[in-house]
Amino acid sequence: MKFQKSHSLKEIADLLNCEFIGDKDFQVLGMNEIHVVEPGDIVFVDHPKYYDKALQSAATIVLINKKVDCPEGKALLISDDPFRDFNILTRHFKPFQFANVAIAASAEIGEGTVIQPNTFVGNHVKIGKNCLIHSNVSIYDHTVIGDNVIIHAGSILGADAFYYKKRPEGFDQLVSGGRVVIEDNVGIGALCTIDKGVTGDTTIGAGTKLDNQVHVGHDTVIGKKCLIASQTGIAGCVIIEDEVTLWGQVGTTSGITIGAKAVVMGQTGVTKSVEGGKSYFGTPIEESREKLKQLANIKKIPEILSKLK
């Protein structure tokens, strides 16, 4: 998430009421999660296990809960609770804006696009040309939709990321300030849910088709011309490369990559990253040919036991 203008390190420290290490005029351009950070971004870290990863990332401002040596060319914001302060920044730079009409005045809707009754289009949404948005679809603020997109009834684009920190008093949610981006010629079935990024974009590539009741988690990037069948659940921060097929009831863990042109058979649990151009099945996931051999051998166990007797 980029800020509308550059801010100084001191301005951000004053906003958070925290100490800083570095030049008070050090340039701050935005904030992001560690997997999408760029120079000028703030990244937060609150566990020693991830200090080095954050300090050595592309981010040039690190919001951290311990005084450490500051890498050259970077700056630190010292906070007793970086998770809380990251939320403060998100709420400050991208505050929630309530709606009082079905289609926000700030929404941009392209020529030839049809929006059926009872659909909600939020603030600063952009919808391209010749789209068909069926009834009871909810398109949250800042969502971007390309040309020739079809979205069926009841789907929701832009719900919050499922991202929580456990506190003694309960779960504290990381505030979502990202977007959903749908490229050209995408088809989205009925009752699909696509969560926005925490600070970046959840993206569905051109020509990809989602069946009914598919869930896409925050910050996930789905490539071009993918097919995703019903009741598939894709976790956050997943990369699905071009022309991947996921059959029904596939589930994935977060932070993995599914290679281009991979085919994942129904009810498979994608527990790790997998190469493209192959077929997969089972939980934990394996190449389908090997998995089916194993299942065939399991069926032979009673026969083998009877012979041993």
Judge contact between 218 and 178, C-beta under 8 A: yes
Active site residue 35: no
Contact 127, 145 (CB under 8 A): yes
Distance from C-alpha of 204 to C-alpha of 164, rounded to nearest angstrom: 24
**Catalytic entry in 134, 152, 215, 218:** 218
Reported for 217-222, long-range contacts at CB under 8 A and 24+ positions apart, including other chains, are 217/161, 217/162, 217/254, 218/160, 218/161, 218/162, 218/163, 218/176, 218/178, 219/33, 219/35, 219/36, 219/161, 219/178
- Collect contacts of 290-299 with beta carbons under 8 A, ≥24 apart: none
Output the CA–CA distances (angstroms, integers) from residue 179 to 116, 141, 161, 164, 204, in the order listed: 23, 8, 10, 18, 12
What are the catalytic residues?
A: 218
